Amino acid sequence: MTTDLLNHKLDRAFDHIDAGGKGVIEREDLLGLAARILVGFGESPTSVIGSSLVGGFDAIWSALMETLGRDGYSRITREEFRVGMEKAFVSGDRYDPVFRPAMEAVAELCDGDGDGMVGPREFRMLLSAYGTAYDDVDEAFDRLDRVGRGVLTVDELVLAARQFYVSDDPGAAGNWLFGPL
Amino acid sequence: MSTDVITSVRTALRSVLHWKPPAPRSGGPAAWALLPLTERVPALAAPCRMHPAVYAIEAAVIDWARRTGLRADPGVGFHRIAGRAFAGFDAAAAALFAQWLTWLFHLDDEMDEGQGRLEIFQGMLAGASSHPLEAAFADLWRVTSARMSDLWRARFAVNLQRQHDACRLEAANRAAGRIPTLQQYPALRRATVGPYLYDLVEPCLRVEVPPWLHGCEPWRELVDACNDVTAWCNDVASRPKEGGDGHNLVVIAMHELGLNQRQAVAWVLDRIAERCGDMREAAGRLPLDAFGPRTARDVSKVACAYLAAPRAHLDWLMESARYT
């Protein structure tokens, strides 16, 4: 059973994919988000990290469709997306094997020099790809950087993604991952 | 489509078809010299994903080829290069691109081996469909251009003209026994490869990149660098079968820099690695934030297809029977 907060976040996640505002999404839309993220960082889908990211997003879509009993080329509505996400990744057991690797790939892409840290510039590039308004990015960063170091760790970013997509805790920092709700 | 654009396309196509294009860039075992790139260039490190519907794409290409009277040799596998370059998009996108590749290579073969080709091309330019190449081009152009603006069609025509001009220069070089310089060659090669291939990504994905972006330096650099990487990889793979033709970066490096074959190949691999770096840098400078979310997503899809193209091409060079 999802809460209003989680439903609200899942709606936001749907909007991240539905860049054209059509009200339905398909596999190509999710992979289009992956393309937007990669190109923003200048990353090829045929690098190790690029391949992991695209493969991860594709796996998320496959898990969603499997959960909904649909084929991979189906279009789904906002309501179906909510149901699929809840069954597959919130109450279901697919988050760690399927969703988390994709989020790890995203976080590692943001860690361009491999030092385990994500700076404000890379965070802004990421949130720009998701469509977060320019003025909301700094606040999102500050909410996630709870100790004020000026950087996030890759692990913190991965944890924030988990909190955003599956947590119904209103106090979770990850609720701010993509800006104010 | 306006009459002017139709005329310009036909004029450019007529020009191209009256000049013999460069011989097919054949590869075979020489392609294995490219393998070190997969270890030293991050963007070439991971094999291209194959489209999950690759067999449906192959079937669509075979069906289309039969309808238009062309061959679709399964060993050549144009569906496999398209299936890699468009792995993240719908099967129709990959099928359309594979059909264009099939047509272009048939045209290439016809120019090299066919009899009475001028009569065939006259019919094609007149919109006839008695020869398979005529029917195939008419079919592809109808499907492709219907989705696009006059600006895109005009760009396609200009790039056909660029190819014609470059082929003409190559022919003149050959007749005079002239080898282009290292400075001249990149621009010449970008044009002989058929620069309109890069224009076809947009209609295959059913998007159109805003015209002003085509004029932006980062976009031009992304396309040029992608073109250079794929063309120069092809040069390495095809050199042994080209009989020393001077329109090959390895041959030019040997000639101009006084290198032996091994050294020249290594030098070309260095240049390819540099251009891969240029692709990454150019992609990162694209002004994506200047667009709304939907347009930025569409532009990214096209750019991502370019970023995937070098490895897709490399994988294809390794497996295709066309060059063995």
In this structure, the strands spanning A117-118 and A24-25 are unpaired
pLDDT tens digits for range A7-33: 999 999 999 999 999 999 999 999 999
Provide the shortest C-alpha distance from residue A174 to chain B (in Å): 23
Sequence-separated (6 or more) residues with CB below 8 Å from residue A97:
none
Question: How far is B17 from B39, CA to CA, in rounded Å?
Answer: 40
Closest chain B residue to A38, measured at CA: B304
Cβ contacts of B219 on chain A, cutoff 8 Å:
none
Residue B100 buriedness (CB in 10 A; 0-12 / 13-18 / 19+): buried
Task: Give this complex's ipTM.
Answer: 0.94
pLDDT at residue B28 in the model: 45
What sign has the CA pseudo-torsion B87, B91, B93, B95?
positive
B294/A20 CB distance under 8 A? yes
Give all strands (DSSP E) within chain A, no chain letters: 24-25, 76-77, 117-118, 152-153
For the record, the structure tokens of A168 come out as 């119904």
Residues of A in contact with B52 (CB under 8 A): 72
What residues of B are in contact with residue A48 (Cβ under 8 Å)? 42, 45-46
Measure CB to CB from residue A39 to each of B89, B90, B283 and give the nearest one: B283
Confidence (pLDDT) at B24: 36
Distance of CA A93 to CAs A6, A65, A97, A145, Å? Answer: 17, 15, 8, 29
Global pTM? 0.89
Inform me whether the pLDDT recorded for A95 exceeds 70. Answer: yes
Q: Is the pLDDT of residue A124 over 70?
A: yes
Decide if A136 touches B, using CB distance below 8 A. no
**pLDDT tens across B1-12, in order?**
455 555 555 555
Q: What tokens appear for B182 in the block? A: 């290292």
Sign of CA dihedral B102, B104, B107, B113: negative
CA distance A132 to chain B (A): 10
Confidence check: pLDDT of B243 > 90: no
